[in-house]
Amino acid sequence: MNRAKIDKILARWNRDANYAIEILQDVQEEERYLPQDVLRYVADELCVPVGRLHHIATFFKAFSLVPRGRHVVEVCMGTACHVKGAPRVLDAFARELGVPVGGTTRDLQFTLEPVRCLGCCAIAPVVKVGKELHGELQASKVKTVIKKYAEG
């Protein structure tokens, strides 16, 4: 990420350390993760210890210190989804993407993550890719979902 983009984000939040979480969210939206050099730069600009930002980045699950895929695949593992086959769906995604659960493909296109609950129990099992929900998803349809995002 270039400094101009970071400076624009910092300016949007008036370089106010009280908005550190929001600033980190904006940086992560641009980069898909929080690089160490960016954390140091933001810390210097906000006049806070880099440890404070590192603490925020490691405390909240929404942040990542390692590169994530352009498409984050979240497989709901809540009770309803689990009962209706979510573990098989998760395994199918891992197999098709060639990554372990929690992993990112080498081309940085996909990151696969289990989540506790997406709150869509009526359409279980549910998978969220980016902001799009896929309900009643069976393991046999995983290849189709991946293809949709790989091509689009």
CATH number of 71-151: 3.40.30.10
pLDDT of 1 over the 80 cut: no
Q: Report which secondary-structure segment, H or E, holds 129.
A: strand 127-129
pLDDT value of position 141: 97
For residue range 31-84, list pLDDT tens digits in order.
Answer: 899 999 999 999 999 999 999 999 999 999 889 999 999 999 999 999 999 999
151 confidence band (pLDDT: 50, 70, 90): confident
pLDDT of 108 over the 80 cut: yes
Cα separation, 101 vs 3, in Å, equals 33
Cα separation, 76 vs 48, in Å, equals 36
Please give the average per-residue pLDDT across 97-114, as a whole number. Answer: 96
Cα separation, 38 vs 35, in Å, equals 5
Cα separation, 70 vs 109, in Å, equals 5
Please give the average per-residue pLDDT across 9-20, as a whole number. Answer: 97
Both tokens of 69, joined, read: 């895929």
Both tokens of 81, joined, read: 């989804």
pLDDT value of position 59: 95
CB atoms within 10 A of CB 46: 20
pLDDT value of position 61: 84
| Domain boundaries along the sequence of the chain | 3-59, 71-151
pLDDT value of position 62: 86
Who wins on pLDDT, 30 or 125? Answer: 125
